[in-house]
């Protein structure tokens, strides 16, 4: 459905949570090396629960290799250094939603090269960033919301017990 891209992720539980989100969203997870952990890290697997068998995972040796193999016209780069609000984008099935590492974000050169493809999540004046897994969830589910009527996606009925 969508392509979630993590460029040089550093924290295993974040990537594990995002992997679980990707399985539930039917999205492909792209991991761009270098990774701050081994792919068999226990905390990565624990956060991803038993979803790893179902994950559509692609691993890239470098950001350059990744960029050489995708179409950038439907790629969106999440950053705190943008005025383009994530909900103002018209997402399409197959889009690439690209997120930088937890400690340094995305390279400023790529952000400068594609300024109209950058997106941001608004935050209050006291915050400087959100957790990576939270950010991916916010943007990915906005993309799903916009495309929900175009896809076969099961509705979940939530029942509250009193």
Is residue 159, in this structure, part of any structural domain at all? no
Q: How many CB atoms lie within 10 A of CB 113?
A: 12
Mean pLDDT in residue range 70-88: 94
Reported pTM: 0.90
Confidence of residue 160 (pLDDT cuts 50, 70, 90): very low
Is residue 95, in this structure, part of any structural domain at all? yes
* 154/157 Cα distance (integer angstroms): 9
Is residue 115, in this structure, part of any structural domain at all? yes
Is residue 162, in this structure, part of any structural domain at all? no
* 17/23 Cα distance (integer angstroms): 10
Structural domain harbouring 109: 3-150
Is residue 24, in this structure, part of any structural domain at all? yes
**Nearest partner of 14 among 132, 106, 128, 105, judged by Cα:** 132
DSSP string, 54-101: G-EEEEES-HHHHHHTS-GGGEEEE-SS---BGGGS---TT-EEEE-B
């Amino acid at each position: 459905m969508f392509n979630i891209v993590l460029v040089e992720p550093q924290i295993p539980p974040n990537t594990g949570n995002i992997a679980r989100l990707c399985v539930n969203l039917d999205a492909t997870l792209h991991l761009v090396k270098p990774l701050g952990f081994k792919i068999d890290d226990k905390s990565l697997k624990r956060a991803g629960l038993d979803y790893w068998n179902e994950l559509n995972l692609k691993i890239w040796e470098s950001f350059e290799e990744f960029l050489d193999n995708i179409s950038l016209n439907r790629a969106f780069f999440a950053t705190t250094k943008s005025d383009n609000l994530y909900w103002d984008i018209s997402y399409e099935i197959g889009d690439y939603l690209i997120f930088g590492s937890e400690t340094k974000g995305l390279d400023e050169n790529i952000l400068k090269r594609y300024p109209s493809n950058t997106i941001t999540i608004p935050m209050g004046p006291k915050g400087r960033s959100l957790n990576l897994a939270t950010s991916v969830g916010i943007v990915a589910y906005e993309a799903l919301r916009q495309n929900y009527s175009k896809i076969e996606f099961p509705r979940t009925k939530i029942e509250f017990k009193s």
